[in-house]
Structure 1
Amino acid sequence: MSAMFGRRRVGRCPDCSDLHLLRDPDTVNELSHSAPQWTHREECRQQGEILREQFQEMEEHVARLQDALEHEKAKSKRLQLRSNQQEAALRRQEQQLNRLKDRLTDRPRDKGPSMDVLNLPPGEQLVKTFRSAARREEAALRLVLERREAELREAMKLRHSLTTLLHALRVNMEHTLSGGTDAGAEGKCLAGAEATLGDHVTGGVVQRWRQVQRRLGELLSEGQTGADTDQDKLLARLESDLRESQQLVRLQQQLLQDSLASPVPPELADGYFLEEWQRLQRRWAELRRQRRTFERERRSFTDAAVRLGRERCELEQQKASLLKQQYLRDSPPPGHSRGGDADVSFCPKSGQCGCPPITPSPKSGAARGRRQEGAGARTPDTPELYSALNLSYNSSSGTEPRAESWDGPTGPRTTCSTQSPLFSYSLDRW
């Protein structure tokens, strides 16, 4: 009975699990969506690491460009300092020229000739020598003044050219840092200013700046070709996923509001219930198939156990009959037994002893077989299952007492007992 109860409990487990799955379909949906979400998270994490590496490379490029920009700024500062020094020198020269002009205009002309007159003989010769010396000095001073003015004009031109070059260089740097690419006019201005001034004045700063621009363009092109393609693709895909998610959220919110506000329309309700009914029918069909399989296996196991029990009983009966024949063959003849002793019957009547005879008759065996066949297949009990599985089963502890029946004080004594240990040992040995 315990085995039958255990089988019934096992048979109910698939029903309970299927009913639980039918009542709670969220678990199935979570299991079906967990794997794609995990793969999507892994892909997002790998893409984030790739973007992080690309961002670090871009930061390194930007750091190098900032170093180059600082170097160029230092060069521009040096040029600015140089131009300031030249401006200071020009101011000093202008001051010197102004002082010279003041001396020429405010010079006392009678002091020198009075000394000459005192030292030289009088006459017209003194006046002529004084006039010629003054003219020569005036011509020399005019020449010096013209030269100084020419140098001043050249210095002013150079200052204006350097100021224009620095302004154009600053504008070009700002345009490059802002990300502009159309710098043709600015490049022409820088080239013209450098050609006008010469390399000995500018120090090749325009050429160095062009080299820095070309290097910066190469680095930006390499970074854009390497990172813009993957990054743009990733950004486009993320944006599309974001839009789809937003649309899905809006649709879910709208459906939730519709479900809360109004019941399901009849045309949609029919389709919903039909889908649920089809799913339920599929589950029921699978459950019936599993139940039929379980019943078939249980029936086959029961038939095999019953068949093994019958074969074991037949074998025991054959062993008992052979032992009886051997015992009767080896026993002494009946004439040698004492007449005063009581007759001992090993096969008494059923009324005197509760155990069946050792060798059943063919008719009783056939009747018992017909009764078992008429009863049909049944669930075997515990002793039959133990005997089918070749296992020992002790139904009672200890030996059973012998049953004796006496007809009287002098009558025959009938002794009947269950199978003794010696008899069981002989059966097993046989």
Structure 2
Amino acid sequence: MTKTVFLPSKIIPELFVPQLFLFFFCVCVSQALPLEHTKNYIKVSLIISPTEDMSTIYCYSTMPPSRQYSHSTMPLLPVSPYSGPSDFCTENNISECMLYISQELSSLGLPSIFYDLNGIRELDVTSALNGMYDLLQLQRRTMGMVEELEVEQLKVSSDLHCQQLSSSKLKDQLELSKKENIRLRERERQLEINVKSLQSCLKNEKEEVQKLQNIIASRATQYNHDMKRKEREFNKLKERLNQLLADRKDKKQGMDVLNYVGRSDGRRSQWKTVKTDARHESEMYKTLLNEFDKHQKELMLENAELRKVLQQMKREMVGILSPKKHSQKEEKCTEFTDQVSFFDENIHIRKSVFNEESSEMSCEHAREKLTNSIRQQWRKLKHHVENLDNKASMVQLGREVGEEMISKDVHQDEMERLKVEIQQCKDFIQTQQQLLQQQLNTPCDEETAAVLNDCYMLEEKERLKEEWKTFEEQRKNFEMERRSFTEAAIRLGHERKMFEEDRATWLKHQFLNMTFTEHMAIKTQNALSDCK
């Protein structure tokens, strides 16, 4: 805050300069604040104009912004001089103002500017100057304190700003650390889940390995027991064979009873008498008949199984050799069915021959004859299938060649047509050249020549565009045909591969069936040998 007092020199001509100085000092002091407001400071400036008409005295009382804004941390604003007149002291209240200033000085602890001289108050210049000096010193001290406080306040504000920045940075770091912690916890949880799943898998694998080890150990022990049992049986059979060979050398020629039939009730045999011998013979015949019936039933079952196998073979062969397009390959199917029927007829003939000659020939000879006939029929059927396969491949190749030939014929026709078109174009170009030559030879205007040239060029461009379009269409057609040919070749290769795989599986199946029939033939041979 700034207070300015303006007094012209004509109003108080009787005052001396020191008295004026003291007066304005007192005026300034009267506007000052008490001592406890140490942040306030006073700046007094005395200006005396050297002009004759007026002496101008300015007194500035300046207050810092800390006084005006007690709760603000704003820096000091620049002091601007106040040029307006003050209302504190006027011409009519000079004595009252001086008295007021004296009271204010006494309240501040400074000596009064008046002294009593015979009961009259007079202005004491010395005390006024001393008071003024004390006020100046007080103002300087307060200004220094204010500057220190302002510097301290600036430091505190800068520290506070730094602390706020560091706090914001720490908050950001805290947020980032929290997010990172959450991410790490989630990853740890996922890893724990993976570890648990892997542990469960490991446990299951260990259990499976333990089970397999137990199974292997049990099978090993069982195998060892079986081997020991087989060895014991083999040793027993070997000892019995040696014993029988030794007994046969010692005995004379005679009948040996094989497969001794014991009693059904498990009792011991009685003394040999006529009745017991007859009874034993009847029991022996009964058991032999029962065994023969049982063996005959087994042979019938084996024959039924063989028939089923033959029927299954026939169905499988028909299913394998049956074409996908019946309308195109009916002749092959009829030939194959004829062969199969021929095969069945031969089998029935062989069976009838076997039934007729079984009474005259031995069982072994009949078995060999039957197996040889089956093998011969199988070889015939195999050769027939190979012939059909070769025929089918030849027919397919013939069709491919026919298609290729058709495509080549079409290609040749197209080439001929293109050659004719090219010849026509050449003729047309030649005629145009002749016409142009004639026009050049004949005199004509330049404008008409330019128009004619433009017309010919436009026609030539249009014709070339049309030819280019036709050429592009032909090229696209050729590309489509080439793609179709390649796709057909690829499809044919896949079909050939599938056919070869089916043929291999069929041959494998037939080989396994042949081994099964051979095994059944061995069983029948053993059964016939047992019958002997």
**Pairwise TM-score range, normalised by the shorter structure:** under 0.3
TM-score (norm 2): 0.21
TM-score (norm 1): 0.25
Q: Larger relative contact order (C-alpha < 8 A, sep ≥ 6)?
A: 1
Which is greater in Rg? 2
